[in-house]
């Protein structure tokens, strides 16, 4: 039993034959090229206000670094333990707010690892499939839910006929509408209405607002348009 353990340790701690510099150079260049493709896909498909040039460059640099580490470690257990201990000392304090950004970081590191262990087929096909899926999800707006186009706000005189007129107007122009809030003003003589609305034809929003303004006793009409998609 002891002899088997010693033999296993001798194999694990044996010096790893040095790779030819041509192979190392090819691995690093491939990790650079493939991670650049992933970074470009990230740029094309990014949405939101938290775009960072530093993050895009980190994708490429991370892939090259991971390829370098895997090339240096090879099959040597001692090297792997040493690098693991070194990385444990480093504390990465950067927070990734968007889970999608975290996936891109993991994809870039995976590409570098694949190139470092000289699994070229997995690295190339993984990058191509990942990029294609990212682009398809972006182009199809997968996961977005269309709800409302905006908020309609106005003050309307308290009159029994106004409710019917308002409902008829909404049914003609809106595919969906919901009353968000209703507040009495001017000692109950008027009421402030706030509606979420989704128009049947967004190009006719000017006509919709005009007809709302023609209701008797109405004032302060305003339509606030917003992004029609929400994350879920």
Q: Of the residues 140, 162, 190, which one is the last residue of a structural domain?
A: 140
Higher pLDDT, 4 or 143: 143
What does the alpha-carbon distance between residue 139 and residue 125 come to, in Å, rounded to a whole number? 21
Same domain, 81 and 154: no
Provide the Cα torsion 27, 43, 62, 93; round to 10°. Answer: -170
Higher pLDDT, 68 or 83: 68
Same domain, 134 and 150: no
For residue 22, is pLDDT > 50? yes
Same domain, 101 and 174: no
Q: Which two tokens stand for residue 154?
A: 């106005």
pLDDT digits (tens, 9 = 90+) for 106-146: 999 899 989 988 889 999 999 999 999 999 998 887 876 65
Over the chain, what is the mean pLDDT? 80
Number of structural domains, the chain? 2
Judge contact between 60 and 36, C-beta under 8 A.
yes
Same domain, 113 and 178: no
Q: Which two tokens stand for residue 75?
A: 């099959």
Average pLDDT over residues 45-63: 86
Higher pLDDT, 19 or 63: 63
In terms of C-beta distances under 8 Å and separation of at least 24 residues, what long-range contacts does 76-83 make, across chains too?
76/12, 76/13, 76/14, 76/15, 76/16, 77/12, 77/13, 78/12, 78/13, 79/16
Q: Which residue spans within the chain are E strands per DSSP?
A: 145-146, 150-157, 174-185, 190-199, 218-225, 229-230
Q: What is the pLDDT of residue 230?
A: 43
Higher pLDDT, 189 or 145: 189
Q: Which domain holds residue 81?
A: 2-140
What does the alpha-carbon distance between residue 184 and residue 69 come to, in Å, rounded to a whole number? 68
């Amino acid at each position: 039993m002891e002899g088997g353990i010693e033999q296993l340790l001798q194999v694990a701690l044996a010096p790893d034959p040095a790779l030819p510099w041509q192979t190392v150079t090819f691995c690093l260049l491939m990790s650079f090229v493939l991670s650049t493709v992933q970074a470009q896909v990230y740029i094309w498909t990014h949405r939101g206000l938290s775009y960072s040039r530093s993050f895009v460059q980190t994708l490429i640099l991370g892939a090259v670094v991971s390829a370098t580490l895997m090339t240096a470690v090879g099959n040597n257990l001692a090297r792997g333990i040493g690098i693991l201990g070194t990385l444990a000392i480093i504390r990465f304090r950067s927070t990734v707010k968007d889970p999608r950004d975290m996936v891109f970081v993991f994809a870039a590191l995976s590409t570098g690892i694949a190139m470092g262990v000289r699994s070229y087929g997995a690295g190339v096909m993984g990058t191509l499939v990942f990029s294609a899926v990212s682009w398809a999800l972006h182009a199809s707006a997968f996961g977005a839910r269309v709800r409302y186009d905006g908020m309609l706000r106005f003050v309307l005189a308290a009159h029994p006929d106004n409710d019917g007129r308002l409902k008829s107007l909404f049914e003609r122009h809106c595919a969906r509408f919901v009353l968000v809030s209703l507040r009495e003003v001017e000692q109950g003589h008027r009421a402030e209405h706030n509606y979420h609305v989704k128009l049947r034809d967004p190009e006719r929003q000017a006509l919709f607002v005009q007809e709302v303004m023609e209701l008797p006793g109405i004032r302060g009409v305003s339509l606030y348009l917003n992004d029609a998609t929400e994350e879920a």
